[in-house]
Amino acid sequence: MAESIIGSLHGLEFLKVIDLSYNEIGDKGAMAIAKFIKTDTMLEILMLQSNNLATSGIAAICKSLQYNAQITYLDLSNNEISDEAGLAIASMLQINTGITNLFLSGCKLRATALIAITTVLQTNNYIQQLDISNNILSSTSLSQTLLNDVMTHLSIAITNNYGIKNLNISKMGITDYIMCNMLASAIQSNSNIETLNLSGNRITRDGGVALCKALSVHPSINNLKLSCCAIQNEGAEAVAQLLLTNTKLKEIYLDFNKITGPGLVAIAKGLEANVMLKYIAVWGNTWDAASCEAFSKLLGGPSSIVKIEDPKAHATIEKNSRLSQCNIDVTFCRVQNVLQVARYARDEVEEK
């Protein structure tokens, strides 16, 4: 099916995007696509995630991309890429100068492939958006050693690369050791990254503190995602200090980080002084009365006063509040005179 579809596309001068995601085209379909893109001069976006692509299909596409500098957006996410296919991607990146957006999330990339790709990225400065998330190695001691090797090469790439602006390395098994000894200094030295996603890693207190120190006066990162880590109160206090010195950050995601009341209060105090941050996510942590009160004040008071007999009664938010409700993922209300916290889903509200 994919072969016949691709065959009918030859000669179409208006074709800019091919999105065949979730179609299981397999290597035969990939071969047809490879043949098409080798000579095509119009296509700019190629999306092939979740297509059961394997070594021969990926290798064929990468071979053709050595001749095609028109495609700028390549998504191969959620295909089980072998070491051989990963090496083919790395070889392609040594030659290709067109791709600026590369997505390899959930490809089960192993150490050999990851090291090859990150090594090439030490000199390839054309990639602006890179997603290698969700490629966790197994947790054996040998694999941890290999992961450290991967992160060593990634750290060098981050230090030397001046092209990447959006970096997603979430769910990569990054530990405190890796953050403290490799990534923090690399991130600090890179003045081009604007969005950094570290969510779902094994970053706890020490790693959180090291990262915040690295970002204290960072000139470019404006969006930091640390969701589903475990920076705890010590990390939260480091975030509070970060907010006092960093005026570049616009969004920070700290949801589900095992932060308790004192840590949340510290963050609230940091937010009082920082007027540049536009969005913060803190849901999924452990709230107490003091932390609810501190964040509620940032919103100008509880958004609603709820009584058992009248659950829809609303109060007006003060106009001089530090945050508006769309700037945070929690909201507050009084239930029988007790201040409570609830999740506020910005996206869900916008959809309504």
Tokens of 333: 């209300």
Domains belonging to the chain, first-starting first, are 1-173 (3.80.10.10)
The beta-strand segments (E) located in the chain are: 17-19, 45-47, 73-75, 101-103, 129-131, 166-168, 195-197, 223-225, 251-253, 279-281, 304-306, 330-335, 338-343
What is residue 139's predicted lDDT score, i.e. its pLDDT?
58
Counting other chains too, the contacts that 39-43 makes at CB distance below 8 Å and 24 or more residues apart are: 39/67, 40/10, 40/15, 40/68, 40/70, 41/70, 42/12, 42/13, 42/14, 42/15, 42/16, 42/70, 43/15, 43/16, 43/17, 43/18, 43/68, 43/70, 43/71
Distance of alpha carbon 101 from alpha carbon 222, whole angstroms: 19
Distance of alpha carbon 45 from alpha carbon 15, whole angstroms: 10
pTM: 0.92
- Side chain identity at 352, as an amino acid letter? K
Q: Which residues of the chain have pLDDT under 50?
A: 305-318, 349-352
What is residue 82's predicted lDDT score, i.e. its pLDDT?
86
What is residue 2's predicted lDDT score, i.e. its pLDDT?
67
Contact 198, 169 (CB under 8 A): yes
Residues in the chain, total = 352
